[in-house]
Amino acid sequence: MKSSSNIAAVAPWVAAALVLVLGVGSLFLGVADVSLHDVLTDPEARSVFLISRVPRTVALFLAGAAMAVAGLIMQHLARNRFVSPTTAGTIDAAALGLLTATLLFAGASVMSKILIAMLFALAGSLLFIVLIQRIQFKDLILVPLVGLLLGGVFRAIAEFFAYRNNLTQTLDVWLNGDFSGVIQGRYETLYFAGVVALVAYVFANWFTVAGMGRDFATNVGVNYKVVMGAGLTIAALATAVVVVTVGAIPFLGLIVPNIVTLMLGDNMRRVLPTTALAGAALVIACDMLGRWIIFPYEIAVGTIVGVIGSAIFLVLVLRRNRYAQA
């Protein structure tokens, strides 16, 4: 096992290097041809760079890191590796909340939309937790299925009201993350998601303890209900910020924590930085792929991550006998 602790020491640096390389790539990939030389000499290229490319890359980083951390927390709290904002109804609940805010308070500010979306996401996650606590047969697959069903119900309600109010296209945009509209002044709320991820790191030990079970947490003097509430709030806030600002990135919070914990174990303090960085790297990579495939047009990053993520999810499910026992 000496080698595994070596992996643990190296992993965050590898992930950080990956983020750096991809981030630089993302800065120089786009319809307008912008090179480093242009940025330094050409004022027009510089403004493209500062108003569009830098914000887009920063937004990708923050959204990816936050969604991965949200997923990591949720799988610990639910004690099920397949629970994430996608598979617990959290994303759909946030979208329903955003729709509610849009319909009821037409002129609502971005901040109040985030707040309402967060409250819906939190309520949705809590409902999910209550539901799975009532299921006696806690199967590894059954639990996320319940979450997907619950998310389907939230989404159906949202679609009903969206249809009646000519907002179905808007709803689709919220549910499928797209960074092509990210420019300076329209992504800064994502910094909240970054702060949320940092807060999660500060309390990482709590979540590890809670992930060991209620009795285990109580024994070492940790208030299980408080940790549960705090963790779900963090995950709901991160999800709400991302859904409101750029749209949902499905499956990210599911696959990234799974792959990272498979390599590094479940001690959250140790895996959280790598999880956040790997989430950021994956989203930046998928966004670059989306910009490149049908250049000069774009495929939304939510679609790319959704395709890759659901495929990986399937592999994890099919391998579960070998994997999830561990």
Partner 1 sequence: MITTSDLTKTYDKTVVVDNVSVSLPDAGVTSVIGANGAGKSTLLSMISRILDADAGSVAVDGLDVFNAPSREIAKRLSILRQETHMTARITVREVVEFGRYPHSRGRLTEECVQKVDEAIAYCDLGEFEQRGIHELSGGQRQRAFIAMVLAQDTRYVLLDEPLNNLDMPHATGVMKLLRRLADDHGKSIVLVLHDINYASVYSDRIVAMKDGVITADGAPESVMNADTLERIYDMRFSVIDLDGDKIAAYFR
**Structure tokens given for 244:** 């409101």
Which residue's CB is nearer to partner 1, number 57 or number 261? 261
Helices (H), 165-296: 168-175, 190-202, 204-211, 214-219, 224-245, 252-264, 268-293
User: Closer to partner 1 at the Cβ: 211 or 247?
Assistant: 211
CB 91 within 8 A of CB 243: yes
**Nearest of 59, 95, 68 to residue 287 by alpha carbon:** 59
Nearest residue to 274 (alpha-carbon basis) of 3, 8, 4? 8
Confirm if 84 and 238 have CB atoms less than 8 A apart. no
Tell me if 324 contacts partner 1 by CB under 8 A.
yes
Cβ proximity to partner 1: between 168 and 205 the closer is 205
Instruction: Give the interface size with partner 1 as a residue count (CB under 8 A).
Output: 29
- Are residues 82 and 72 in contact, defined by beta-carbon separation less than 8 angstroms? no
Q: Which residue, 52 or 75, has its beta carbon nearer to partner 1? A: 75
How would you classify residue 251: left for phi > 0, otherwise alpha for psi between -120 and 50, otherwise beta?
left
Q: Is 259 near partner 1 (CB under 8 A)?
A: no
Please state whether the peptide bond connecting residue 273 to the residue before it is cis, i.e. omega within 30 degrees of 0. no
| Cβ proximity to partner 1, 267 vs 303, nearer residue | 267
CB of 148 to partner 1, least distance (A): 21
4 in contact with partner 1 (CB under 8 A): yes
Choice between 220 and 294, CB closer to partner 1: 220
Grouping H, G, I as helix, E, B as strand and the rest as coil, residue 74 is helix
- Binders of partner 1 among 118-157, rule CB under 8 A? 138
Place of tokens 């006998």: 321
| CA separation for the pair 251, 84 (Å, rounded) | 8
Taking the complex as a whole, the smallest distance from the CB of residue 290 to partner 1 amounts, in Å, to 33
Query: CA-CA distance, 261 to 84, in Å (whole number)?
Result: 14
Binding to partner 1 by CB under 8 A, coded x per residue (else -) over 8-47, reads ----------------------------------------
Nearer to partner 1, 233 or 258 (CB): 258
265 lies in the binding site for partner 1 (CB under 8 A):
yes
Q: What residues numbered 60-79 form the site for partner 1, per CB under 8 A?
A: 79
Q: How far apart are CA 162 and CA 249, in angstroms?
A: 20
Choice between 106 and 202, CB closer to partner 1: 202
Residue 227's nearest CA partner among 216, 239, 241 is 216
Residues within window 196-255 making contact with partner 1, judged by CB under 8 A? 205, 208-209, 211-216, 218-223
Alpha carbon distance 115, 104 (integer Å): 14
As measured in angstroms, the least distance from the Cβ of 194 to partner 1 is 23
Return d(Cα 143, Cα 67) in angstroms, integer.
Answer: 20
**Using the rule CB under 8 A, is 312 a contact of partner 1?**
no
Least CB distance from residue 72 to partner 1, whole Å? 13
Q: Does 266 bind partner 1 (CB under 8 A)?
A: yes
Work out the angle at residue 144's Cα, subtended by the Cα atoms of residues 143 and 149, and round it to the nearest 5 degrees: 100
* Least distance between partner 1 and beta carbon 326 (Å): 5
Of 5 and 35, nearer to partner 1 (C-beta) is 5
Query: Least Å distance between CB 20 and partner 1?
Result: 28
- Residues lying near partner 1 in the complex (CB under 8 A) are found at 1-2, 4-5, 79, 138, 205, 208-209, 211-216, 218-223, 261, 265-267, 269, 324-326
